[in-house]
Chain A
Amino acid sequence: MVDQMSALFTLGNMQFLLRGAGMTLLLTVIGCTAGLIGGFLLAYARGSKGTLAAPLRWGATAFVEVFRRIPFLVTLFLVLYTAQMIVPRAPLFWVAVVSICLLCSAYMAEIVRSGMESVPAPQIEAAEVMNFSRWRITWMIVLPQAWKVILPSAVSYMVMFVKDTALASQAGVFELMFAGKALANRGLDPFLVFATVLFAYFAISWPLARFGRWLEARLARRTHEGDRR
């Protein structure tokens, strides 16, 4: 036990795991940033009106419904094999990024949509009467109020998502879980290795979850103060 521990907790191994943790964070940040942008575009497309925009509306709805209903693992494998078909030797990192963006934008689209729906309809009707374009209504009236609803949900989705990125290791992408598997394959005690990896995920996820709760409480308080004024 003790010599297994001293074999695992060397400087090199810890740096290896830390690099993996860095990649996990990078994947999460890429996914959530791209997801927020993609989710906003999808929500905007879903809220479009008129017969001309109908295919756009249906397309966005179908995208969101489909990618929210496929397990991330299956999306990952599908993207992996499709990428290999189109580009021989497709870099695995980009395979993971593409599948993460697909998943995140589908989930974020729902978060953004429910945030935009939280803005009272009379405000939007008033803006329509004043002949605001839809883009200006969204940009100047809806988003400045909706972000307070969107942001806490987006952060709590991010907390969920950090943990999902562990699956990217299954496609051979180097991140925290992949680093753990590599160490276990090198003959180190898998019990200790995966316990360390679990602890590392906890150390990333827990502060993020606390931050999300703090943000939610703070934004809720600020909104109520605004009501009173």
Chain B
Amino acid sequence: MNYSLQFGQIAADVPYILWGAWPTLWITFVTFFAAAALGLFIAMARLKGGPLASRLAGIWVTLTTNSPLFVVLFFLFNGLPNWGILLSPIVATLIAFIAISSGYLAEIQRGGIQSVRQAELDAAETLGMSRLQMLRFVIAPHVIKTTYPALSNFFIFTMLGTSMASLVGVNELTGRAIEVSSRTFRSIEVFSLVAVTYVVLSLFASVALALVGRWLFRVKARMI
């Protein structure tokens, strides 16, 4: 027990570590929105596509939701170079994250689309709504309301997941923590700082998502 916590020794590196939140955030945003768009496409293929398209979409969802992201990332970054495909850390990260997340997001959005009842669509048609109006006033509000909690949970989940990118050398929050701790040997201090940063970031994200849901989509989401 001859280890004493000395935060003073990492004081100079604190801004550097904290700015790592920026790559964490942008990777999260890019992953989430790209995967959500891809997921919507897959969900539509599964529900409204032909037999082949829906079959392929189903296989894609099964494959992605049952593969560990970390292993996929390692496969892309360490396995492919042997076959002549060299990916930079950030490209490998984005491909792995978007591919895996798209499966989960497709399932969430499929559930949302399926929850729109045929009776509602019939009613909208009776009122003489065009397809666009139906999408805007009937389908979209319904889908957003039912999927919003799951989507915001998944956003937080993605944010925490981005820490894995550090293991292939992306310089985000965890990556910078690993770098500074191997330079200063103040591992506990560095990692507790990073842990607190993740807690603060995800609390902010939760509150922001709940507020956005309340104001834009009238979803009654829990703050925390």
Task: Name A's B-contacting residues (CB within 8 A).
Answer: 65-66, 69-75, 77-78, 81-82, 85-86, 159, 162-164, 166-167, 170, 177, 180-181, 184, 189-195, 197-198, 201-202, 205-206, 209
Contact of B161 among A71, A77, A201, A206 (CB under 8 A): A71
Q: Is the interface of B mostly helix, strand, loop or mixed?
A: helix
Shortest CB-to-CB span from A125 to chain B, Å, is 23
A74-B198 in contact (CB<8A)? yes
CB-CB under 8 A from B94, the residues of chain A are none
Q: Does B224 contact A (CB under 8 A)?
A: yes
Within 8 A of A (CB), among B170-200: 174, 177-178, 187-188, 191-192, 194-195, 198-199
Q: Does B130 contact A (CB under 8 A)?
A: no
Task: Name B's A-contacting residues (CB within 8 A).
Answer: 1, 3, 62-63, 65-72, 74-75, 78-83, 156, 160-164, 166-167, 174, 177-178, 187-188, 191-192, 194-195, 198-199, 202-203, 224
A85-B79 in contact (CB<8A)? no
B198-A202 in contact (CB<8A)? no
CB-CB under 8 A from A159, the residues of chain B are 66
A209-B66 in contact (CB<8A)? yes
Q: Is the interface of A mostly helix, strand, loop or mixed?
A: helix
Residue pairs across A and B with Cβ atoms less than 8 A apart, 26 shown, are A69-B199, A71-B161, A71-B163, A71-B174, A73-B174, A74-B194, A74-B198, A75-B195, A77-B187, A78-B188, A78-B195, A159-B66, A166-B70, A166-B71, A167-B70, A190-B79, A191-B83, A192-B79, A195-B75, A195-B79, A198-B67, A198-B68, A202-B63, A205-B67, A206-B66, A209-B66
How many residue-residue contacts, CB under 8 A, span A and B? 114
Q: How far is B63's CA from A197's CA once the two chains are assembled, in angstroms?
A: 14
Going nearest first, the 5 A-B pairs with the smallest beta carbon separation are A163-B68, A71-B163, A191-B79, A194-B75, A205-B66
A73-B166 in contact (CB<8A)? yes
A77-B75 in contact (CB<8A)? no
